[in-house]
Structure 1
Amino acid sequence: MKLETNSIYIHQDLIISCKNGDQKAFKELYMLYAKSMFNIAFRILKNHDEAEDILQEAFIKAYYKIDQYDFQATFGAWLKKIVVNQALDYLRKESKWNIDELADNDMTDDSEIDWEGIEMKVDIVKKAILNLPTGFRTVASLYLIEGYEHKEIASILSISENTSKSQFHRAKKKIKEYIKKSEAVNDQTII
């Protein structure tokens, strides 16, 4: 019996096969999702080898928990949550990120950042995000790239929603600075 057709049920046949123990089906899911899940881990960890390790651990976890996937969200969203949590757990375990670095940084400055005259190119923005300190990078990646809301980020990171917003605001300032520096370097090399 086929489930109704909509985006939540993408790859449903593969997922059902996985739930029935078909390892080839799981390998197919791995091939479909590995690159995007690696990119998520890499944006959080900023290290290729660590992101590879997290990717493998996340897929192992997904393999053993596939029965818990209930088609309430897309498989990609379910898997992304596993990858994000694995990456954050790794940062905490390796003491590469201290939650206190975020917790005491609530901002009262709600001023918006002026982006006028700033050329926004995806590759430059991604590089800027990778160059952010861990806390800023994590919040910016989760918000800008992964599409989480501040309330969700707060829950994932065990911080307040205001702290998430504050970290994102500061991250935007750093991103703007990086882009301006990048533009200045490009302007000098053109001359």
Structure 2
Amino acid sequence: MSLYPDTLENMPVTDQIVVRCRKGDVRAFRELYEAYSRAMYNICLRMTGHAADAEDVLQEAFVQVFKNLEKLTSDSSLTAWIKRIVVNHCLSYLRKKKVYFEEVGEMDAAEEAVVDEGAYAFTVSAVKEAIGQLPDGYRTVLNLYIFEEYSHREIAEMLGISESTAKTQFMRAKEKVRQLVKVKTKEV
């Protein structure tokens, strides 16, 4: 995306919206928000675990997006750039809540046990419910790894924890989800 395009017609729609936002077009701000808010809200909801908190974090993140559109470079993906801002706001929110991440030693980061997943009747709703019941620290690492596709190294850097702690938190989160789903499927 050129910062000073000759014509908007030859640009992708999202680039056109960004250019119009940079020029102060209020409708473009709304279009940008509407184009990305649902997906970004889902990130916020997964990370915070609460609809009201997710809405607050989303609004704060979009304020930052709008304030910083001038910093978006032509080689940046708009979606990835917005997602990074949203994830950072979620992490800030969790830090304010003082989410606890268990520090573990290398011995705790051993290989996970093999589980016969075929024995469980995994359903989307049961898994979503189980993830929602996880402690904030487990849920955060699980969401960042599975849904946001960050590596354990990136997660460790973002959260200020060791890579082995990020891996262990993820393994424990997966195991807790399995246990919760197992209990849920036995109730059905």
Aligned counterpart, 1:157: 159
Partner of 1:120: 122
Identity across the alignment (%)? 37
Q: Return the letter of the residue paired with 1:163.
A: T
Q: Is the 8 A contact 1:118 1:180 kept in 2?
A: yes
Q: Measure how far apart 1:105 and its partner are.
A: 6.2
For 1:36, the equivalent position in structure 2 comes to 39
Output one character per residue of 1:125-158: Cα deviation in whole Å (capped at 9) or x when no partner.
2221111111100000111111111111111111
Is residue 109 of structure 1 aligned with residue 79 of structure 2?
A: no
Deviation of the 1:175 alpha carbon: 0.8
| CA–CA distance in structure 2, aligned partners of residues 179 and 23 of structure 1 | 46
Q: Give CA-to-partner distance per residue, 1:36-72, whole Å, 9 cap, x none.
A: 1111111111111111111100000000001111143
RMSD: 2.1
Which whole-Å deviations, capped at 9, do the CAs of 1:96-136 have from their partners, x for residues lacking one? x13xx333465232134412322333332222111111110
Gaps of 5+ in 1: 187-191
How many residues are treated as equivalent by the alignment? 179
User: What is the aligned partner in structure 1 of residue 21 from structure 2?
Assistant: 18
Once residues 53 and 134 of structure 1 are traced to their aligned partners in structure 2, the CA distance between those partners, rounded to angstroms, is 17
Q: In 1, are the aligned partners of 2:109 and 2:167 still within 8 Å (CA)?
A: no
TM-score normalised to the size of structure 1?
Answer: 0.85
* 1:6-52 Cα shifts (integer Å, max 9, x gaps): xxx66111112212222211110101111111111111111111111
Segments ≥4 residues shifted beyond 6 Å: none
- Closer, same or farther: CA 183–74 of 1 in aligned 2, 3 Å: same
Residues 24 and 49 of structure 1: CA distance in aligned 2, closer, same or farther (over 3 Å): same
Q: What is the aligned partner in structure 1 of residue 60 from structure 2?
A: 57
Q: What's the secondary structure of 1:123's corresponding residue?
A: helix
1:94 corresponds to 2:97: yes
| Residue ranges of structure 2 left out of the alignment (5+ in a row) | none
